[in-house]
């Protein structure tokens, strides 16, 4: 297994992605990147991550920002509740510091907690996202925390979900799954015409300016309000 990990790390040294959040050990910056990367492609995240940190370079500065501005800045990244949770997490950090258990922060699950602990605090933990889990399952290998970024990159660029690029894989010679093809685990629901799209459209309208509730879809407004993304105030729907 040590040989397998050595092959992986050699590959990563030559082929690893140069991503801006890999150039820092600031836990706040890494938290921002991990929250943004939840269900959003790396290419879309990079410019938004850089812009976010230019605007709010610390947790304290984000916590001091109006929630409405945070939601506006998040527009286009999708799953807007992440913005509210990140704002709340920044408030908790600014007020009481980083908790020992990072899952106490709003919106932070076990994977995100492990990622911040590993990449910011050098904790001896291997964060397992979908890409890492796929490589572990297919190779049957055991890898240490120092291989976290390498496993993520291998899963994202080579050991892909449906059609792995085994010819480019540094682990192919020892991989019991070499040459296999896979059916998708589930079909992605269509965004066009979905309630998710209606919610997003409604939030965009409210982000532009407060609007009378009767101008908006009631179910979408109710769902956004439950997530803390809008407020209903004297018949007007506005950002919090």
Distance CA 52, CA 43 (A): 15
DSSP structural state of residue 187: P
The verdict on whether 34 is a catalytic residue reads: yes
Q: Are 108 and 91 in contact (CB under 8 A)?
A: no
For residue 103, the SS3 value is helix
Rounded to the nearest 5 degrees, what angle is found at the Cα of 107, between the Cα atoms of 54 and 118? Answer: 70
Return the H-helix or E-strand segment holding 212. Answer: strand 211-212
Residues 53 and 65 sit within 8 Å (Cβ to Cβ): no
Residue in this structure with the two tokens 């950002």, named with its chain if needed = 239
Q: Which of 3, 15, 34, 214 is catalytic?
A: 34
Q: Which of 89, 83, 56, 53 is nearest to 70 (CA)?
A: 83
What tokens does 217 get?
């879809």
Nearest to 176 by CA among 139, 143, 135, 142: 139
Longest dimension (CA), the chain: 66
Q: Which residues are catalytic?
A: 34
């Amino acid at each position: 297994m040590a040989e397998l990990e050595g092959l992986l790390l050699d590959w990563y040294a030559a082929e690893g992605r140069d991503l801006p959040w890999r150039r820092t050990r600031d836990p706040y910056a890494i938290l921002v990147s991990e929250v943004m990367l939840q269900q959003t492609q790396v290419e879309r995240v990079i410019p938004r991550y850089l812009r976010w940190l230019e605007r709010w370079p610390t947790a304290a500065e984000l916590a001091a920002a109006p929630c409405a501005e945070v939601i506006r800045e998040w527009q286009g990244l999708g799953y807007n509740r992440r913005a509210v949770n990140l704002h709340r997490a920044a408030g908790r950090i600014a007020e009481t510091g980083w908790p020992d258990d990072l899952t106490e922060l709003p919106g932070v699950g076990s994977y995100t907690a492990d990622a911040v602990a590993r990449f910011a605090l050098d904790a001896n933990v291997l964060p397992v996202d979908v890409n890492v889990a796929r490589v572990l399952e297919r190779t049957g290998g055991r890898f240490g925390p120092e291989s976290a970024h390498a496993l993520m990159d291998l899963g994202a660029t080579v050991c892909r979900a449906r059609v792995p690029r085994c010819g480019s894989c540094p682990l192919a010679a020892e991989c019991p799954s070499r040459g296999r093809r896979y059916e998708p685990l589930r079909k992605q629901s269509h965004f066009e015409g979905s309630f998710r799209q209606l919610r997003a459209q409604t939030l965009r309208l409210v982000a532009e300016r407060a609007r009378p509730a009767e101008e908006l879809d009631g179910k979408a407004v109710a769902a956004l309000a439950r997530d803390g993304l809008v407020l209903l105030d004297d018949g007007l729907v506005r950002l919090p």
